[in-house]
Each structure stands twice: as structure tokens, then as C-alpha cells.
């Protein structure tokens, strides 16, 4: 069995993709009349709607393969990683140095 089978058993779930029943106009009517900020909000709202049902979002096999590899590397080298607090502190410091 792959390391991922033990680490993340859900990684091998299969999702089905169904064809849209009709072609939709691109961009949707009225989209071009929106400001860029409104267009971004619109697209974000669409993504939030999709992401609210994660079980329906397809995950390509190559994503799963990368995740299995990275988790295996992490588990083999646990002492080399950072916890969230360390990472956040380092990132905040790095970002503040960029702006000064």
C-alpha cells in the first residue's frame, strides 16, 4: 500500500464530472458593466458557492500524487518542519522587511 493509503485514506476518492446542460455565455450578461472590484467579488462568490460543496470538486490524480509525496517527505523528516506559530512569525518578519 502507498504511504498515502495510511496517511490520508480519502485521497483516493473519485469524483464524477457531469457535462453542463447548456453552454453559458462568456462573460455572463452584465459582467462587463461591473467594475473590476465587482467582477472579482462576483468570481469570488462563484468560487465560494462551489467550495461550499467540496465533495463535488474534482481533484486530479496528479494533485493526490504530489500530496502523497509531500506527506511522506514530511513524515520522514518531522524534525525539519515548522509549526504554524514559527511559520507565521517568520513570514510576518519577512513581509515587514520587504516593506521597509
**pLDDT tens digits along 53-94:** 989 988 999 999 999 999 999 899 988 888 899 999 999 999
Q: Residue 100 has what pLDDT? A: 72
Cell of 56: 463535488
Average pLDDT over all residues of the chain? 82
**pLDDT tens digits along 4-34:** 444 444 444 444 445 566 788 888 899 999 9
Q: Residue 18 has what pLDDT? A: 53
Q: Which residues of 6-42 are buried (b: 16+ CB within 10 A; e: fewer)?
A: eeeeebeeeeeeeeeeeeeeeeeeeeeeeeeeeeeee
pTM: predicted TM-score of the whole model, two decimal places: 0.44
63 preceded by a cis bond (ω within 30 of 0): no
What are the boundaries of each domain within the chain?
3-99
Amino acid at each position: 500500500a502507498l504511504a498515502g493509503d495510511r496517511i490520508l485514506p480519502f485521497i483516493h476518492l473519485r469524483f464524477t464530472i457531469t457535462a453542463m446542460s447548456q453552454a453559458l455565455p462568456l462573460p455572463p450578461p452584465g459582467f462587463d458593466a461591473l467594475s473590476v472590484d465587482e467582477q472579482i467579488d462576483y468570481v469570488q462568490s462563484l468560487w465560494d458557492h462551489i467550495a461550499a460543496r467540496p465533495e463535488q470538486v474534482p481533484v486530479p490524480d496528479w494533485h493526490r500524487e504530489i500530496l502523497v509525496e509531500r506527506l511522506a517527505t514530511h513524515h520522514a523528516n518531522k524534525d525539519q518542519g515548522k509549526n504554524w506559530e514559527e511559520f507565521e512569525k517568520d513570514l510576518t518578519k519577512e513581509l515587514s522587511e520587504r516593506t521597509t
